[in-house]
Structure formats: structure tokens, C-alpha cells
Amino acid sequence: MIGESTTEISLLEQTRQMLCDCSDLTFQHLPLQQVDLVYFSYLVSSEALRNDILDPLNKPDVNMVSILCKSSFKQKLQASELVYGILNGCIAIFYNHRAYLYEAYAPESRTIQSSETESVINGPMDSFTESLSTNLSLIRRRIKDPALKALTFTIGSKTGTTLNLLYLEDLADSLHVQQLSEMIEKLNVPVIIETNILVQHLSPSKFSFAPQILTSVRPDHIINKLTSGKIVGLLDGSQVAFSTPTSFIEFFMSPDDYYQPWAVASAVRILRLIALFITLSFTAIYVSLVTYHYEMIPPSLLLNLMESRNRVPFSPLVEAIFMEMTIELLREAGARLPTKIGTTIGTVGGIVIGQAAVQAGVTSNILIISVAISAIASFAIPSYIMSASIRLMRFGIILLAGLLGNFGLVFGLGWLIVQLSSLHMFGLSYLAPLAPSQPSRWLDLVIRAPVHILTKINKSPPNKTDK
């Protein structure tokens, strides 16, 4: 009895010591049954605590053995196991020299709402939340197939964050699942609290400007990736899900494309690719032509251009960089301010600053038009991260165009294509199906073919390797 008492006291005291200085930790003693409870009140369900533990234990004729022998009460022999369980929303129960864990994890979480960052005109309006169980339910309620598998990982030595990898066993490449699992297990990072941080660790090229793993907060978008043979990751505490392997062209696809007639969706997708070229090169073309290649400008337009630039004291390169930075400042200010104020700043600020800059002779009105068109084109890209990356690349191409003219413009675009084509994930090209060319896959990437054709394509998913 003395040895057992020492073990009980040691186990309870070890738990207390490991969780010392935690003023938010609840220690509760039930004198009737000589039971001690240890838990975080805001991590556990108050209803489960009351109905399954407090009410039964406070009965005078309760049989403790019959209660604790239930499968929901798991006996633990190590204080470290008890502490880990308490931190993960379990209730630790100490009784008769033994310790048990009862799982009652039910933290407060917000309700399912519509997405503010990925809006669609048609289709479902729900989005993921920060609750992993809620996000899993949003996927499971849409895919009722036993082939949908889920692997669980714990990442972050300090945060202990739960990560679930989901994939359809009959569509996803098992080799890709194994490789991604090994990458996650090898992660030695103390803090992982957000999906966008995780994807930076998983991206094969850490210094690339372009995002290499697709992220989304829309369940329907993630469902589409799962049914295309992709692997999806859900991180507890993050609203964002990721999908891999990803190609460059996927960042220009929107869930809304599948809810519209195929001709409309195809035209919109092609328009987005045109917008990509415009936002990358439109301002750079202006700088190149005005600086080195006046002969390429039509005479009628050249006269207006010379009149517009007559009072501008800066070179076209300095003028363009200044206006592009101004646009980015307005964009950032509008994003950080409250919605109503941000909209006002973006609209009024752009008009006032642009008009004042032209009247003051700081810039030409044609450049204002060029920069505005480039900015509008960047808004057509559905992925915010890809849009931001392309805007960053645009500054480099403008600089090359200002220094080397058309040669610099072509060199910049060529270098960008080479860099993108050098990216690979699980041995798959980032520019697929454009390079290497797979024309059959263009029907669901470059354009959106009619649904009866897409059904045939999805029966033989890409990215499947020979086993």
C-alpha cells in the first residue's frame, strides 16, 4: 500500500509540476469519492464534463470500478502521457493510485460562413473554419466513398499541431502519398500554426517566387482536387487547406468555372491567361517603347505621347516604378483597413493621386492608363498568392525593359519561363500539361470542356505513375 500511495502521489505531483504556473488549469477535488480532476475548462465540453463525470461521481452509491472500466476511460502510467492528453482536451482522473484520461475535446469555434477571399457567383458559399473536425465533415459529407483515406500527423515540437492528409485511394498516386508523408515526418520545426507556413516548408524550391502548392478555403475547390487524384492537407487551427502536386495553370482556375456553361468558363479561363501576359508585360512594353523604340509607336499615338511626357522630369523607368509602387501602396492600404474605409481609399486614392500626378507633371496620363490596366489584369487571377507573386515578377521585367529595351523584356519573360519549367513536385513538371505537352489535359486546364468530356478525362487521372 505504501508503494501504491507513493506511485499515486508521484504521478499526480509530476503532472502538477509539469503544468506548474498554468493559472488557467483547473484542479478539482471530489471528496465524496476521493477523486482528483485536472483539465483546461475551455478545451473540454462542459456538457460531457457534467453528464459523464461530475454527475455520476457525485452519487453516494456510485461504483467507481464500473465507471472507470468503460472504454472511454483510458488508463495512463506516465505523467507525460497525462500532460499530453490534458493539452489536447482530455480530462485527467486520479483515483485509487491510478490515472485515467477521458476525451472531451470541444473548444469554441466559429460557425461555417461564406468565404471572403475566394468569392464565386454560383455554387456553394460555405468555407472551411479553424476546426479540423468541422473541415473533415465538410469533405466527408460531399464524398461518401470508402476510398477516401486520411492519414494523421503531429507537427511542430512546440505547437503539436494535428495534420490530416486526405486522398482517394483509387485515384491518387500511392508513391506521391508516401513521399509527402516522409517529407512531413522529417519536418523538424518547433512552430507550425498555419497552412501557409507549412506549404513553404513542403515546397521543393524554397527560393522560387511562384507558389508551388495550391491553397484554398473552399470545400468545393478541394473536393475537385481530390477527385482529380491530388493529395489534400488539413491543419488544425487553420482555415486554409492545401492540395498537391500542383501545376502553374491550376492557380488560374476557379471553382466557379464548373458552375457555368462550358463556353463561358473556357472564355473566362483564356481571358485569365491573357490577363497574366498583360499584368506581366504591359507597363514594361510602355517603358521599352518610350525609352528605346519610338519607331514602333504609331505616329498619331506618338504625338499624344510626346505631349503627355513634355513636362515629366523623370525617365520612363523611374516614372513607371514610382507609379507601380504607388498602386501597390494603395492596394496594401486598402487590404489592411476596414472594408468600407479600404474601398474608399482604393477608389478615391487612385483617382486623386493619378489626376494630381498628371497635373503636377510627375507622370504622363498614358502611363496612368498602362499601370491601371496592369493592376486590373492582376485582379482577374483567382489566387491571391499567385497574383502577388506575379506583381513582384512584374517589377523585375519593368527594370529589364528600362535597361535593355525589348531585349530585356523578352529576356525577362524567357528567364521566367525557364525558372518555372525547372520546378518539379514528385517528379512532375510545374508547367504541365503545357510542358511537357499533354493536349488531352488542356480540356480541363487551359479550357473547360463540356461535362461529359470531363467525366471521361477524370476516369484516367493524370499524375498516376506505374507501380
pLDDT of residue 176: 93
pLDDT of residue 343: 62
Domain ranges of the chain: 2-103, 132-246, 265-428
Of 220, 129, 231, the C-alpha closest to 179 is 231
Q: Are 222 and 185 in contact (CB under 8 A)?
A: no
Per-residue DSSP letter, 380: T
CA distances from 179 to 170, 173, 175, 224 (A): 17, 10, 6, 22
Helices vs strands, H then E, count in the chain: 17, 12
Number of Cβ within a 10 Å radius of residue 287? 28
DSSP calls for 285-316: HHHHHHHH-GGGS-HHHHHHHHHHTTT--S-H
- Grid cell 488557467 is found at 24
Burial pattern 305-343, b for ≥16 Cβ within 10 A else e, equals beebbeebeeebbebbbbbbebbbebbeebeeeeeeebe
Distance in angstroms (rounded) separating the CA atoms of residues 39 and 45:
11
Regions in the chain scoring below 70 on pLDDT = 1-10, 339-351, 457-467
Distance in angstroms (rounded) separating the CA atoms of residues 386 and 209:
9
DSSP three-state, residue 265 = helix
Q: Which amino acid is at 365?
A: N
The predicted model scores a pTM of 0.82
pLDDT of residue 6: 41
Residues 409-430: pLDDT tens digits? 999 999 999 999 999 988 888 9
pLDDT of residue 458: 60
pLDDT of residue 327: 85
- Grid cell 497574366 is found at 276
Under the phi-then-psi rule, with left for phi > 0, alpha for psi from -120 to 50, and beta for the rest, what region is 47? alpha
400: which 3 cell numbers?
529589364
Q: Are 183 and 242 in contact (CB under 8 A)?
A: no
Distance in angstroms (rounded) separating the CA atoms of residues 243 and 463:
13
DSSP calls for 61-107: T--HHHHHTSTTEEEE--HHHHHHHHHTTEEEEEETTEEEEEE-B--
Number of Cβ within a 10 Å radius of residue 346? 17
Of 165, 181, 185, 162, the C-alpha closest to 236 is 162
Residues 39-83: pLDDT tens digits? 998 889 888 888 888 888 887 777 888 888 888 889 888 888 999
Distance in angstroms (rounded) separating the CA atoms of residues 59 and 44:
22
Output the CA torsion sign for 326, 331, 335, 341: positive
429: which 3 cell numbers?
513538371
Distance in angstroms (rounded) separating the CA atoms of residues 212 and 244:
8
* Contacts with 47 (C-beta within 8 Å, 6 or more apart), sequence order: none
pLDDT of residue 2: 35
Angle of helix 316-336 relative to helix 262-292, nearest 10 degrees, comes to 140
